[in-house]
Every structure is written in structure tokens, then in C-alpha cells.
Chain A
Amino acid sequence: MAKINKEDRKKQIMDTALKLFSKEGFFEVTMADIAKELHMSVGNLYNYFNSKDALAKELILYISKHLAEEIRKINMMQITSKEKIRKIVDFYFHTAKERPEFIEYFLRIYLSNREVFKHGCEGMICVSPFVTEIMVFFEEGVRNGELRNQDFFSAFGLFMGYLGGMVFLMGEGLLPNDIEFYSQEISENIYRSLKNES
């Protein structure tokens, strides 16, 4: 059997941990549970992450980078802000459907257990790649006159809060339709609330 390299193994651990955390909850899952799921020894797992908190921080950074990479691709496209909103919404909902643990982790663990992320993930450090791309998206929209100039967090909260809320409803099984059914309307709502009307 081909030997798996360290980086791939690390990724495998993170993907497994993400699934377990989002299913069972962060505090319920131990390092031993993760090791068991991966058929590896706990000692070996600690070679990759020296604590559950360290793993938790790496996970949020991993998710943030993944989301940032995709939004960056959208930012680089020569399309309007309205079209970018649609693409970001599509991508976010698609991720929520295909990799629900990504979004669940962000909403249920990172945002709800701030004490875990107090040291080494202060403020927005561990989600900085993602927030930076959202900033670039907003800044370019205002610069080209398409979006209204306002406080960043007012716009950020509206955009991400809306998407997060929908994913939360989906996770709770409360949405009557598939989440992607709402993409068009939600993109339209977000655009209308952000656009420059002057």
C-alpha cells in the first residue's frame, strides 16, 4: 500500500474531525474518538495536533482559506457586483449542501465557543483570509459605484448573517425546499439591500 504523506494525512484528520465535531458537538468529541475513527493511535494523532484546541484553530483556518480561495476566484471575474453576489450565494449554499461540516463548524463551533479560540485566534485572525475577500468584494463594489458606501460590518452582517441563517434553518431541517431553491431570491434581496440608489 502506498505510504500516505504527512500533509495528506493531516487533511484526512481535519476532514474527519470536522465531520465528528459537526455531528456530535465540539465538547463531546475527544481526540481518542477522532483517532478511533481514523484507525490510528491517539499518540500518533498528537504528532499532528498537540491539543484539541490546536486542532480547532487549524480547522477554522482551513475552512477560512477554502472559502477565501473560492471567493477570490469570483472577485477576480470581470462581472458586476450583482453577478458576484449570485455566485457567492451559489457557492456558499452549494458548500453547505455538499460539505455541511464546513459551514456548521463555522456557525456552531467557531462562533459559539469563543473561549476555545481566545488565544491564537483573537478577533478575526483565523477567519482573516475569508473576511479579506469579502472586504475586497465590498470595496470594489463601492468603488465602481454599484454598492452603497456604508460601515463594513453593517454590510458584512447583512450578507453573512442572511446566508448563515439559511444554512442554520437547513441544518435544523426547517426549510421546506432544498437550500439552492432560494439562491435567486436571496441574491436579489442581498443586492437590493446593498446597492447604491443615488
Chain B
Amino acid sequence: MKAKIIWLQGVTCNGNSHSFLNLPSLASLLQQFEFLYHPLFPSPLQLMDLHTADFDILVVEGGLKQGWKKGDKDLYELFFHLAQKAKKIVAVGSCAVFGGVFKEFDPTITGVLFDKTKKSKLYEHFFNKTVNIPGCPAHPEWIAFAIENDSFSLDEYHRPKEIFAFTVHSGCTRNEYFEWKVDAKSFGTKEGCLFYEQGCQAPFTHGSCNRILWNEINSKTRSGTPCFGCTEPTFPKTGLFHTKTYMGIPANMPLGVPKRAYLTITGIAKSFQIPRLTRKLIDEN
């Protein structure tokens, strides 16, 4: 028998649903799981039927806000009721995990377990069965991973380590430029590092965007856009496209790298001019 899923939407832009619908293996996933309810595609139940539904996995997309209604339903109450019944809760997207973008407009919006970095009021109720898959949107493969698996090693924000122990920097095709401190001067090029001059947050953002590619072919950094750090509780930050520095030294070190070690290594790297990397490799004229 197929495991049954209810996909509930809180305050959201639908981005995670759209991401999920791009899952290349969606057909195979639907052989194992049945969506009793999903607001965007045909499903046997409607919002008004969910209270009495018998199901296994609750997927939550969007932030939660007490008193917020969808149709006639108080979404927060409905979530609480379903969350108690669910065997597993999967919070998808940064809004469901940390509060996300909508929280910028309404600070009372929270994620399921977290309100930015703080534990939410719901934490004690559901921490032992909730898996968090942040991202704006969450990667479809990550969502599928959380739906299909039951045993996880989780980090402090309940993110599966299989996906989030790495940084987005890991697997970045521009690592050679990062190592030698050769920066890209504009967006959209395939050459140069996006860290210093374009504000890339990949060295301290947990995620697998460069290990599990989007649409199986690309990532932000591969296409020439800096990582925005969307899997972290600090998202969304203002002042994108700019790496904050103190006297030219990045305010945030690459994850786990001591300041002195970073300064020593970058000082040495900058001492060398690597002509192969400093000149254009493609479109040389």
C-alpha cells in the first residue's frame, strides 16, 4: 500500500510546489506515495476534508501564523491537528523552516520548528518527527529525499546532514578562482569567483546546490549568479551582491576556517598572479 501524503500550504508563494513538480523522478515517487491532498494538482481530498483524513506524511510549505485563514480553515489549527496525527513532518522551503521571506513583512510568521534561529512554540511538540528542508525554493531532489527516507542524521536546525553538512561552495566549478582569489567582475560569466565582488555566500551556506544540480544541469554559481544563502536562518538578507568586509577582510569566514588561517592562505594566494586565470578563457576578444 502506498504511503499517504498531505501537502499543506501556509503563507507561501507556491515556489516549493513548483520546484517539486520539476522532480525528474516524480513518476517513480508517485508509485510509492499517494498525495491525498496537494493544492496544485488533482488529489482526492479537499482542504475541508483534511481534518478527518488518515495519512502518514505531512509536508508543509510556507510560514505559519496564528489566526491565518485559508478558505474557512484556520491554517495554524489545521496544521497542529494534522501534525499530531502525522508519522513524519517534512517542512519544505525557508518559510516553513525559518519563517522566510514573508516574515520580513509580518514578524509573527514562523517556521514549524524555528523562528529564524530561535526554537518556535511548536518545537517541543514536533521536534522528534520533523525534517527541515530549507531553500528558496527547496531543491526537488532534497524534498524527495526527505519524503522517501525515514532515518536521518540531522543538524542543529533539523536539516539532513546528507544534504546540508556541505556548503554550497562544495562542488562549485569556480573553486579554482576562489583558491587564487581571482574575482568575477560581472554576473553571468563562467569565469572568476563570485565571493568578494559579487557577494556569493556559498562558502558559509549549508546546501548541496553544486552537488545535486538544479534541473540536473545547473546551479546559481555555475550560471554566474552568487549564492544568496537561502538555506540559512539569516535568509533573506539585504545588501545582496556585496560581501561585507572589515578593512577589506570578509566579515564571515568560510565555514570552520579560523581567521588567521584564512588570512595567511589568501595573503599567499594573492601574492601570485596566475595568468591562465586572470585573463579571459572564453571570448577572449
Report whether A143 and B246 are in contact in the complex, using a CB–CB cutoff of 8 Å.
yes
Given A132-B260, A139-B259: A152 and B248 within 8 A (CB)?
yes
**B267 within 8 Å of A (CB atoms):** yes
In chain A, positions 100-148 with a C-beta closer than 8 Å to chain B are: 122-125, 128-129, 131-132, 135-136, 138-139, 141-143, 147
A150 at interface, CB cutoff 8 A: yes
* B249/A135 in contact, CB under 8 A: yes
Would B271 and A135 count as touching, CB distance under 8 A? no
Which of B248, B249, B267, B271 is most buried by chain A, counting CB atoms within 10 A of its CB?
B248
B158 to chain A, nearest CB (A): 31
A128 with B248: CB separation less than 8 A = no
Quote the shortest CB–CB distance from A153 to chain B (angstroms): 8
Query: With a CB–CB cut-off of 8 A, which chain B residues contact A124?
Result: 267-268, 270-271
CB-based nearest A residue for B263: A132
Does A172 reach chain B (CB closer than 8 Å)?
Answer: no
For residue A98, which residues in chain B have a CB less than 8 angstroms away from its CB? none
Assembly CA distance A149 to B259 (angstroms): 18
A7 at interface, CB cutoff 8 A:
no
Give A146 to B7 CA distance when docked, in angstroms. 51
Within 8 A of A (CB), among B193-239: none
Known interface pairs A122-B272, A136-B260, A139-B259; A152-B267 also in contact (CB < 8 Å): no
B263 touching A135, Cβ below 8 Å:
yes
Q: Which residue of A lies closest to B247 (CB)?
A: A138
Query: Which B89-120 residues have C-beta < 8 A from chain A?
Result: none
Cβ of A31 under 8 Å from chain B:
no
Q: A129-B264, A136-B260 are in contact. Are A123 and B270 (CB under 8 A)?
A: yes
* Given known A-B contacts A142-B246, A149-B246, A149-B247, A136 and B259 have beta carbons under 8 A apart: yes
Residue of B nearest to A155 (CB): B247
Contact A139 B247 (CB under 8 A): yes
A151 at the interface (CB under 8 A from B): yes
User: What A residues does B263 contact at CB under 8 A?
Assistant: 132, 135-136
CB distance from B251 to the nearest CB of A (A): 7
Residues of A within 8 A of B251 (CB): 143
Residue A139 contacts which of B246, B264, B267, B268 (CB distance < 8 angstroms)?
Answer: B246
B247, B249, B251, B268 interface centre (most CB from chain A within 10 Å): B247
The 4 closest A-B pairs by CB, nearest first: A123-B271, A142-B246, A152-B248, A138-B247
A-B contact pairs, 29 of them (CB 8 A): A122-B271, A122-B272, A123-B267, A123-B268, A123-B270, A123-B272, A124-B270, A125-B267, A125-B268, A128-B264, A131-B267, A132-B260, A132-B263, A132-B267, A135-B249, A135-B267, A136-B259, A138-B246, A138-B247, A139-B246, A139-B249, A139-B259, A141-B247, A142-B247, A143-B246, A147-B247, A149-B246, A151-B247, A152-B249
Name A's B-contacting residues (CB within 8 A). 122-125, 128-129, 131-132, 135-136, 138-139, 141-143, 147, 149-153, 155
15 additional A-B pairs beyond A131-B267, A135-B247, A142-B247, beta carbons within 8 Å, are A123-B267, A123-B271, A124-B271, A125-B267, A125-B271, A128-B267, A132-B267, A135-B249, A136-B259, A136-B260, A139-B247, A142-B246, A149-B247, A152-B249, A153-B248
